[in-house]
Chain A
Amino acid sequence: MPLSDEELYRRMKKGDRMAFADLYDRRSAPLHRYVQHISGSYSAAEEVTHEIFLRLIQPNSSFDDRRGTLEAYLYGMARNLIRVIRRHQSVEPADEPAVEHNILGDLIRNERTAALYAALRELPDAYRDAVILCDLEERSYQEVATIMACPVGTIRSRLHRARLLLAARLKPLATFSGVTAR
């Protein structure tokens, strides 16, 4: 049976290198994708994910398992770091290297997807997180409720409202597009 995140964290704090590697391998990819979806930037995702784990290994990292799960803590850190990056970018726009992971860049250039990304970023944080975690990350309502520290019903209603808003945003573009709905 795999060890819980919290147990891996405890072992990691005692200097267990393998525990840290396991924790990183388990949680870095979803966090990386989460940041990519919010920021639309691969390099921002690299920075934020790196920073999250860097802070986690510091002796003064403030995670307390009595206050929530480690996963919720990691996503909370990701949200805060993204806010910091956004504040920074409002002063000095980040320049994405042209050669770096162009798939996402190409996709954003696609009008409809760009509109969807824009709509996603304009959603209130709670709605946006529900969409990213439930629909893009395909997590269960229960898992997302744990991460967001709220009831399952709240997650479900946030997701439905968010989807309604996004669908409305996409509708005008769909009139001229050949997107095939399945």
Chain B
Amino acid sequence: MTCRESAVEVVECIRTGRTPGAELQAHLMACAHCRERREDEQRLNTHFRVMRDAVAHQPSMARREQLMREFDRAHVGGFQVLWRWALNAAAILLVVLALVHDWRNYGHSGGKVAQQPAESAADVSDDESDFVSVPYALPLAKGEFVRVVRTQLDPAALADMGLDIDAADGAEIPADVLVGEDGLPRGVRVLPEAGFLSLE
């Protein structure tokens, strides 16, 4: 056995705890250098054992729990993701529908106009007497086209125009406003179905 072969065999015997074979033992008896090498290797092994025992053998449990939470966060199930998207889409759709509904009912002027049926002065003239003239407004010209705008008016505003409405709770009153071609109001009519019939 050569010294090189002996060195390899020594390391393997020390690492595995195997008893050296007869050939190796004979070589070690004869070779001081290899005996010294064996002692070095044994010393090294002792240190390795100390180092093995010294390190912590597990990461902390807190880290494990933290990772499990991260896993839960990162792996939200596909079904749950789908549901989240569906709910978000439904919420957006509802908002859009509500906006469209508002726009249709109240127009895009931002006012409280409920209806804007366009009528000619001739059509209106039949029941013109229902309208109370807005104070200081110019009278309608003959043949002038007018519009009747259905809206809700404050009782105080109606009172200014000479319509004394008894709205106990201060609620706004449904009314038609007669609008001239110039866009200015000419007359107001409180709707009979609103139940405020005490016109003066």
A and B are interacting partners:
yes
Contact A171–B59 (Cβ < 8 Å): no
B171 to chain A, nearest CB (A): 57
Q: Any chain A CB within 8 A of the CB of B60? A: yes
CB distance from B188 to the nearest CB of A (A): 66
A159 to B48, CA, bound (A): 13
Q: Which residues of A, 1-23, contact B by the 8 Å Cβ criterion?
A: 12, 15, 17, 20-21
Most interface-central of B8, B51, B52 (chain A CB within 10 A): B51
Within 8 A of A (CB), among B33-67: 37, 39-48, 50-52, 54-60, 63-64, 66-67
Check B50 against A113 for contact (C-beta < 8 Å): yes
Q: Does A160 contact B (CB under 8 A)?
A: yes
User: Is residue A107 within 8 Å, beta carbon to beta carbon, of the partner chain?
Assistant: yes
Q: What 0/1 pattern do residues 1 to 41 of B give for CB contact below 8 A with A?
A: 00000011001000100000000000000000000010111
Closest to A115 in B: B47
Interface size class of B (residues with CB under 8 A): 35 or more
CA distance A168 to B41 in the complex (A): 10
**Contact between chains at B51 and A116 (CB < 8 Å):** yes
A181 adjacent to B46 (CB under 8 Å): yes
- Majority SS at the chain B contact face: helix
Choice from B15, B44, B63, B71 contacting A17 with Cβ under 8 Å = B71
* Interface contact A179-B46, CB-CB below 8 Å: yes
Q: Which of A29, A54, A135, A163 contacts B58 (CB 8 A)?
A: A29
Smallest Cβ-Cβ distance to A168: which chain B residue: B40
Q: What is B's interface to A at a CB cutoff of 8 Å?
A: 7-8, 11, 15, 37, 39-48, 50-52, 54-60, 63-64, 66-68, 70-72, 74-75, 77-78
- Can you list 23 pairs linking A and B with CB atoms under 8 Å apart? A17-B71, A17-B75, A28-B58, A32-B58, A33-B55, A33-B57, A42-B56, A45-B59, A57-B67, A59-B74, A101-B56, A103-B54, A103-B56, A104-B56, A112-B47, A113-B47, A116-B51, A136-B51, A163-B41, A168-B40, A179-B46, A182-B42, A182-B46
